[in-house]
Structures are given as C-alpha cells and as structure tokens.
Structure 1
Amino acid sequence: MIKNIKTKQIEEKTCANCGGSKTVDSYFTSRSFMHSDGKCHVCKECVNELVGTDMDKILMFLSSIDTPFLQNAWDTKSGDLGKYLSQMQMRQNKSKTFRDSDKQVSFNPIVSREHEEVEEFIVSKEDKMTWRGVEDENIEYMKFKYNELIQSGYKDNTPIKKMLLQNIVKTQFQLDGSKNTDEQNKLYTMLGKMMNDANVKPSQETSLDEVPYGVWIKKVEDEEPIAEVDEEFKDVDGIANYIYKWFTGHLKKMIGLGKE
C-alpha cells in the first residue's frame, strides 16, 4: 500500500536590507502592526550587523517591532539580542509591548546618553492641528510612530492617506494602552479594517496605485512616446520592402492607387 505523503512547503520572504530570500524563521518575530506577517522586514543576520552592541540602536529596533526592553531579562541573556527576543516569546512576556518597557527607557527614537543634553520637544500649533484630540505629552510619540510608517514604505501623498495613517497611529496608541480584552479585540478589528480599507500596506503599493492602468498607459503614450527610428534602422532585414513589393504594391494597383 502506497501512502500519500504531503511535503510541507517552507515559506520564504525577502530581506529588505540584503535582498536575500530566506525562510521565515530567519526573521525576528514582530508585534508591530506595521509587520502584517508577524515578522520583521530585515533578517536576523542583518539586524545583528546593523545594531551590534549599540544600546541606542537596540532600543530603536525593539521599538520598531513593538517589543519591550526589560533590563533584568536583558542582563540574564548577557546582552544577546536573539536569546533575549526568544525569552520575550514566553507566556509572561508575550503580551507586552514596547510601552511596557522599564520606566527609564525613553520613547524618543534617539535615547540620550548621560553626557548629552536632552532636547526638549516643543508642541507647535501645527502639531496640535494635525493631532487634534491627542494630549500634548503624547504627540511626540505619535509623530515618531507616524514617521516609522513613512520610513517603512507607507505613502501620505494625499490628504486622505495622511488622515488614514494618523487614525491608524491613534488606534494603535489606544490598543497599546488598553488592558481590557474586549476593548483590545474591538481595536484590533478597527485597526485591520482601516488598513484594508485604506489599501496602503507596503506590500500593496505599486507604481500604478495612483491611477488606473489604462490612464497610466495613455499618459505614457502622450508624454513618453517611442522615438522615431533612424532611417538606417527602419528596414535592416528588408522585410518592409518585401511586404510592399508583393502585398501592399499589388493591392494599391488593384484599387487604382498606382504603385505609390
């Protein structure tokens, strides 16, 4: 009796840094809503090369995958990023986000060193207009997360897209601060619907998104037509002359147009 054995297909994705196609287990797990497949866009090897042992970069990376920094856990893993992130997948840490990091960790994308002066963030009138309804103390974090979206490939080149991205950031902020399971589920649903309705996921963005395909073709024909071929290259193999001599020429004589 022959058994039908199914082979498991290994899923792969392309690293946004090195361009290599690698299996999904070659990427760190991400809790960020910007990574819809639950994996970082950059492979583990590249991440380790990019952040090294620089704590500023490590914190920025943890923020981008929405994973907390817990000093005690970090120390027990001797500063090994891979081992630390494996520990963050354990049940007691799995539901935590970057906002659950130790209190001394700043949400500023650049964590200041002791010998550096911390530049105070000033909320402008434009910021207040852009982030209406958001408390001043949270606007800096909102702007940081918004810029992360843009740097990740999202587009805000129309007022509608800009508004949708702002709403996505606001909803994610509410989700991060919610401790109620029912409310979290509701916010997750809202967040997914906004991203799907907006049709602005990086994986969906193409050069044709802004206009219908037919309009794009017409634009190319009108503004970038194919240049006229030089005389010496018009009929290098004599095909055009052959067609005229044996087909077009005879047809013209038949309908009374003569040879020309």
Structure 2
Amino acid sequence: MAGSKICVICGESKRSNQLLTHKNLLLNDRFSICRDCANSIADFTDEESVIEMAQLANIPFVKNLYTDVKRQSKKPNFGIYQKRLAPYKKFETFSDSVFTTDGAAETVDVTPELERRWGKDYSEEEYAYFENALQGLIAIKPATTAFEIQRYVANVKLKNALDEAFKTGDPKGITALRKAYSEDSKDLGFDAVLSGNDDSGKSLGQRIQNWELNEPVPDNDKYEDTAGLKKYINKWFVIPMKRTFGVASEKEVDSLYED
C-alpha cells in the first residue's frame, strides 16, 4: 500500500494513520511501530514496559505524566501518554527522560503546609497527586506570585473534581466541571494541555486556524452565559479566594451556602 510501512513488532504493513509517531532514527522509511503494538506492549500496570516502549520510540519517559495517565484514564495506553507529553517542549528524546517524580513520591508526608495549600481530609496518595499536578503546571508556565500558585491549586482541584465526575458517571457534573476547567485553564494560558483536547500537540497558529474554520464568529463582544459558568466560577473560586484574603463581603460569603 502506498504510504504504508512495516511494523517492526508485528511485521504487518500498516497505513500512516495506524503508525506511532516516533523519533527512532534507526527505523528507515520502510519500517515503523504501529499504534496497536505500542498500546499492547506498554502495560500501565507495569512501569518497565512503558519505559521500554518509550525507549524503542525514542521519546521521553516522564514519571509524573506516566502516573497521571495511569491514575486518570479508565484505559490508559501509550497514545494517551504521548498526547499528554506533547505540550512539554523541553522533553524531546528518551535521553530527556525523568524517572522520578521530581521530589514528590507517590505518597507524601502530610504537613501543615500541605493541608493549608490543599485542605484537609485527603489521603497521602491524593496529596501526592495534587503536588505532582501542580509541579506539572509550573513546569509549563512558572508561577511568579503566591496568588498565581493559588490559581494553579484551584485548577488542579477542578481537574480532580472532573476526573471524579467521569468515574462516577455524573453527566451534569461532567458538563459543568468540564466547562469550568476549560475556561479556567484557558484563562491561565494552559489551553494547550486541556484533557481530551485533540489539538494539544498543535502550535498556537494551527489552533487559531482551526478555530477560524470551525468556530462561529460572534457579532459583538457580549456573550450570554447560558450555562451559568460565570456564576459557578464566582461561587466556587472567586468568592472563596476573596474570603481567604479577607476581602469578601458578608453577602458574598452568605451566597456560598445558597442552593
């Protein structure tokens, strides 16, 4: 078949859309690695198998991302891992791999500082996940102020709430949380790493071109908040932050307890 290559694992001829994007320079124009084989070999219950597949494809193994994919995906596979890796431009080849969690283990010591940052009554594993996710955001876009760190913390907790809604199969919760998380991530400049965003590996210019071709152009700069997103973010993020810094009014605080 024109444009097809032979998978070095299964030996079958596969079309280009069935092949893995790899950086193994030892594979010439006739050979590649198919997605099915990559997903089959990279068993996310066995970290070594994922490392071996990353080495074969000559792409980085990053422990934080491996842990995130393993925890958040119902059926984690190598393709999902590659999508999550795409926005991290500092990771190019297997030589850039990070085999530790950058100082945050899969469990952590629960300190008063950790509880102040995330709140109480979480497990050690949950605190470790929060810290890893926070460090991942900082790696993409370093925070310059304490307030920005708090915004990142809120973003991580929004993503965690969205993951929980997916696990429990709550359709209303998924819809509201996905919109809130999407808007918050875009506001923070993390739109390229939104979960499930197929264009996460594209450049900003490519995404703008896609928006221009597919998204409706508004007639003016006024948008109707039909989903109540502004109210949701105001209640669960803006007012709690104002209360934390002691600038929330009594009316705003009372609104937190309204249905």
Shorter-chain TM band: 0.3 to 0.5
Higher relative contact order (CA 8 A, sep 6+): 2
TM-score (structure 2 length as normaliser):
0.36
Structure showing greater radius of gyration is 1
